[in-house]
Structure 1
């Protein structure tokens, strides 16, 4: 019995030893896997350059899984190779070239089935014949001479969606993937999916920030655009940059049916082509296609027309529109402001068919709306400019007319005045008292006409000629004006008060124009003052400035009319013009002359309590 018991104990001990060795090996493997996962976790967190990180992770994966590893990422129904590691660089190049031309498709082959089902696949002991039911004919032909002995494919899942597949393969004889290998591959796939999704979100964030920056810059530029070319160049440049376009077309609506509107195409450098210059039919064809593409039953949704050269069931007309722009992809958006269509915006990509994303379409629509507003503003600005030019031309013609009329009137009025004086002096024989009285009336009215002509001429000259400045004393000018108008005031039954400064009030002035200012102010005050009242002429002075005020006790001016009395030919009320006469020129002359001297004017009044008009000039001792 003892030998038997000894053998039994030996076998039990051996079994325990083997089991312990397996457990130790398993523990060491688990430790290496934990260390490996920590290392690739560090790689994923070290950089946002996901392509470089994936390459490094695949290299590390070859140390614990198969010697050949790759990652496919899903793009629609296709799975494209995103990263690859193979021990043979030549073979790696062949694999990249093959998958570039033959992307895996969803539901086809091992990779496609894993991506569609979301379940991992682990195959061992494969032969070329075993590939017949697992892959496409192109893949079978490509892999016929180098089929892997064992193959593992695990889905990459992010947000509940399969975004790709992680694959590991080995041609080492006898190499079989275990359950631990599958778990490790799933752990790698899980971390890779998170990193890929984070990188995608980061890229999207960066792209949106870039687009929003371009949108802001475009908004600022469009808001200050002053011409049609500015708007179109700004719009096209920013759209090309924001959406990576090869060109932007603009078709503006015709202002009339008989006007041909060619479509202009721009890139970042400016205008590059003009389409349909002869008939202008392209705009109408695009409008018809856009209307046909508008969503039915959704009147509030802005219409867009998206065309791709590779889209199924594309019509001949749609293909012709693509060819007209030389584009592989075309997005047409209306330019609308306040419900009115100003034209169409065409986004072109001539490199390859592309699907414009919803975000790109929204950004393009936002820029289209801002461009439509800018176009309307430019149209309004051009209309205002045209109106302004017409007014300027009218003003020029008016000034020219005034100049010509005043010149033509001066000569005959001078002769009339001269002959009146000769008649009054008896040069043509003695006159009766009645004739003298009549001539005095004619002389007075002739003087009024001459003064009116001179003032109208002065209004014109103040914008055409320079002043002849010399030192003048406002006290002396005021005194001379008072002497000229004292007889007029007395005849009107008014008292004229003169108040001067104790010392001279020197200014630089035109000796012909400044006296006119005094005359206009005094004449205006006397005209509107009732009999028995008074008119005051005052000169004030302090260091740096001298000013003159003319105050009357007349009818006054409504406060809301004070700013208008300086306007040429303005009359406060029609009945006042009929009662007091005048052409509304005197105060306009005052303002023009004083402003030409670098001074300023003002008026104070209360209805029924008289007016005060004044002007101020810089004193000569203050410098010019």
Structure 2
């Protein structure tokens, strides 16, 4: 068994091994004790069950102590365990025979174990405990010599404790040494760890450096530019791109002098650059130089370099970029830009010129800067037929235009093309197209404007130097601008021509319209047609039934004029024009089968014909024709112009005829008007005479009637009624005669000439006019009243005429008002005028008659109108008198609700009445 505290050890593994041995020793001791119990189980002094209980208790205690020791490593637990070991041995021996039992012998290893582990004092304490146990056992066993065993145990404890104390001192010293060694070991371990870490970092840095070097090498090899590292002016490294530029391998370039790689003319420049590159932190500008390749062809490169520290040596890293193609492209771009600038200049130049000749001159001058040539032509398609006009210019000299058929040179209008060779394989019509049979090379580019083909631009060389595709590409934009300019020039020329034609037509039209006699119009038409159409011979034929008559001609021979006199509709070219009513253009009359007098045409040399019908409505008055003695093709525009001229001439001729008819009719009408005026004058004179003749006997009759009514012998009542009716009828007839006389005076302006204007009071005038009619109103049972304001209503007018106006209106109201009715004469002052109104409660006037009741002799139909009678001149007389006073009259009426006749007269200015009264 083991007892006492454990010794401190140098090594943890040794300590754990000692703990294991201790536990094993206790287990062996327990096993030996149990084995002894088994041998002594049946001994005389053995009490097996108490001994077995001691063994079980000790086993349980040992397990609990071990658990407690693991939780708490205090020394007390170990001391208790050592004491328990001794007591367990003593108890076991006591229950198995005392000193006769071999179990107590386990106290020797126990005392040795605790003395070696705990030191001298601890060993003596445990030795005394063991000695006491042996002494007790000796006393129980009746073996007095057993006490010697107690002394032996004490001696063992002393010897073991002494050895243990010495060993503990040695252990403490070894512990200090161990601590020092541990510190040294820790320091050494830290040093070794630091060295290992540094070594790992060095290895990692070396790996990174190697990786970086590999990447840089790959980068230098993969870069598209050449890379060269120079040391002392020689190649220390070159990537494959740089080697490929020179035509060498990278290894073959190592050690090569830099100047040996450069063309002689660039060495000085590159050497100066290298000296700058060697300066630290200097990154110079790019230097362009030509490399000498192994193939002998110089290679233009752009060099950019800088100084670096490499492997302890000052080095220069230079990049080489092949700029041969770049410079070539720059030159091409510059050349293209120059061509575009030239094309732009051509476009600006041709757009500033407004005629085909000026455009052609500019194109010939400017195109020579882009594409060299010896001959330049413009082939322009005719707008009127399959003809081609060729305008040519050579080396400093122009040529007059020529006309070609389109079909032989159709190839020039299809697409841009070039030809160079001999005459055998030349395109058809080439010599005519170029206006020069000596051309050996040709380039043609079609001219298109707004998707419309208008011609071609053609360049020629007298030497067999072919035009390239680049030349054609340059000429295409030139052709586009030229086509647009030519089209604009044509449009402008057409506009100018149309303007001139329009101005001529307008001028001629004014001249023709200004004349109303055919003898003046017809010669003017023929002269104007020749001037506008640019011809010398003109003929105007008029239709008379089916015959054609020469109405006017210009510069035609008498024989030709006589030949035209016998033409009929449908005969020859002129008759065809009238028959069909359409213009006709003939380039060569001699070849036309419709021509009747071919001999005359050939004798006098006439060639071309243009005729237009003189159309008026659905008919045709004649023809207007021009003929030329030179070949001329009259196009659609000229035909339209001729037709417009013919239409104007037809209008003028028709107007002249109408004017002649109108003049004849006007003369007849003038004679008829003169007769009517004479008849009217006679009628008015007869009416005045008759009126005066009627008035004279009527006045006598009226006087005798008054005499009879006032005679001393009073007539009977019947006679009085007869005399009254006769008097009223006589008054009515006298009034009608007076009205007719007044109307006659107004129509002959006699009243206006004898007008006596004065200032009148409208109220007084109305009272004086109404007073004679009151008796008639009372007799008919009609109330007659006046409604005027307190203020004076002054008006300027003729008293007698205005008196008739009031009387006629009131008399008219009395005629159409029933018994029990009411008539009101009303006067009002309004802004700038006076209003006189006569309102009745009569039968009214239908709306359809109100606009005409003031017309002379107009009478509204109806039974009432027939009963009251009247000649229809009373209201007419009112209107004319009011108009004579610068006034107006109107009516407001509804059937069955009466009528209101309103007269409006202007008010005189404030100062006018006094002046007029004095006058």
TM normalised by structure 2 equals 0.49
2:381 — aligned with what?
74
> How many Å separate the matches in 2 of 1:586 and 1:177?
111
Deviations 1:156-212 (A, max 9, x none): 2426665323333344xxx332242x6414642553245324542575389579969
Are 1:57 and 2:353 counterparts? no
The structure number with the bigger radius of gyration is: 2
2:594 — aligned with what?
315
Aligned with 1:565: secondary structure? coil
Correspondence 1:390-469 to 2 at 5 A? 396=677, 399-421=680-702, 423-424=704-705, 433=715, 434=719, 440=727, 443-461=730-748, 465-466=752-753, 467-469=755-757
Q: Does the Cα contact within 8 Å between 2:445 and 2:475 map onto a contact in 1?
A: no
Q: Where do 5+ consecutive residues of structure 2 fail to align?
A: 1-291, 301-322, 555-560, 913-919
| Offset of residue 550 of structure 1 | 0.8
2:307 — aligned with what?
none
Q: Does the Cα contact within 8 Å between 2:570 and 2:578 map onto a contact in 1?
A: no
Does 278-287 or 27-36 show the bigger shift? Answer: 278-287
Compared CA separation, residues 316 and 375, structure 1 to 2 (3 A): closer
Aligned with 2:799: secondary structure? coil
> How many Å separate the matches in 1 of 2:687 and 2:781?
33
1:163 — aligned with what?
454
Does 498-507 or 355-364 show the bigger shift? Answer: 355-364
> How many Å separate the matches in 2 of 1:321 and 1:431?
115
Does 434-443 or 43-52 show the bigger shift? Answer: 434-443
Deviations 1:317-351 (A, max 9, x none): 6999999xx995535357465xx447578586979
| Offset of residue 531 of structure 1 | 2.0
Q: Does the Cα contact within 8 Å between 2:759 and 2:797 map onto a contact in 1?
A: yes
> How many Å separate the matches in 2 of 1:348 and 1:463?
65
Does 349-358 or 462-471 show the bigger shift? Answer: 349-358
1:5 — aligned with what?
none
Are 1:538 and 2:826 counterparts? yes
2:815 — aligned with what?
527
Deviations 1:90-131 (A, max 9, x none): xx3xx22xxx3x4233244xxx354476674524577xx999
1:508 — aligned with what?
796
| Offset of residue 507 of structure 1 | 1.3
Deviations 1:370-414 (A, max 9, x none): x989989x979x98x979989977984675355223322233134
| Offset of residue 353 of structure 1 | 3.7
> How many Å separate the matches in 1 of 2:793 and 2:566?
73
| Offset of residue 59 of structure 1 | 1.4
> How many Å separate the matches in 2 of 1:492 and 1:460?
34
> How many Å separate the matches in 1 of 2:790 and 2:336?
108
Deviations 1:543-588 (A, max 9, x none): 5321111111111001222111111111221544422211211111
Q: Does the Cα contact within 8 Å between 1:525 and 1:535 map onto a contact in 2?
A: yes
1:300 — aligned with what?
none
| Offset of residue 149 of structure 1 | 5.3
2:582 — aligned with what?
304
Q: Does the Cα contact within 8 Å between 2:839 and 2:898 map onto a contact in 1?
A: yes
> How many Å separate the matches in 2 of 1:618 and 1:395?
37
Compared CA separation, residues 557 and 177, structure 1 to 2 (3 A): same
Deviations 1:25-45 (A, max 9, x none): 999689646623531333224
Answer 1 or 2: which has greater helix percent.
2
| Offset of residue 513 of structure 1 | 1.8
| Offset of residue 607 of structure 1 | 0.2
> How many Å separate the matches in 2 of 1:488 and 1:319?
99
> How many Å separate the matches in 1 of 2:866 and 2:747?
26
Correspondence 1:56-135 to 2 at 5 A? 56-63=362-369, 64-75=371-382, 76-82=385-391, 84-87=393-396, 89=397, 92=398, 95-96=399-400, 100=401, 102-108=402-408, 112=409, 114-115=411-412, 120=417, 122-124=419-421
Compared CA separation, residues 493 and 201, structure 1 to 2 (3 A): same
Are 1:196 and 2:476 counterparts? no
1:270 — aligned with what?
none
Q: Does the Cα contact within 8 Å between 1:122 and 1:152 map onto a contact in 2?
A: yes
Q: Does the Cα contact within 8 Å between 1:260 and 1:279 map onto a contact in 2?
A: yes
> How many Å separate the matches in 1 of 2:681 and 2:691?
15
Q: Does the Cα contact within 8 Å between 1:548 and 1:615 map onto a contact in 2?
A: yes
Aligned with 2:442: secondary structure? strand
1:269 — aligned with what?
none
2:347 — aligned with what?
44
TM normalised by structure 1 equals 0.68
> How many Å separate the matches in 1 of 2:368 and 2:638?
39
Compared CA separation, residues 366 and 444, structure 1 to 2 (3 A): same
Compared CA separation, residues 468 and 373, structure 1 to 2 (3 A): farther
Compared CA separation, residues 389 and 264, structure 1 to 2 (3 A): farther
> How many Å separate the matches in 2 of 1:577 and 1:260?
67
Does 351-360 or 488-497 show the bigger shift? Answer: 351-360
> How many Å separate the matches in 1 of 2:620 and 2:752?
47
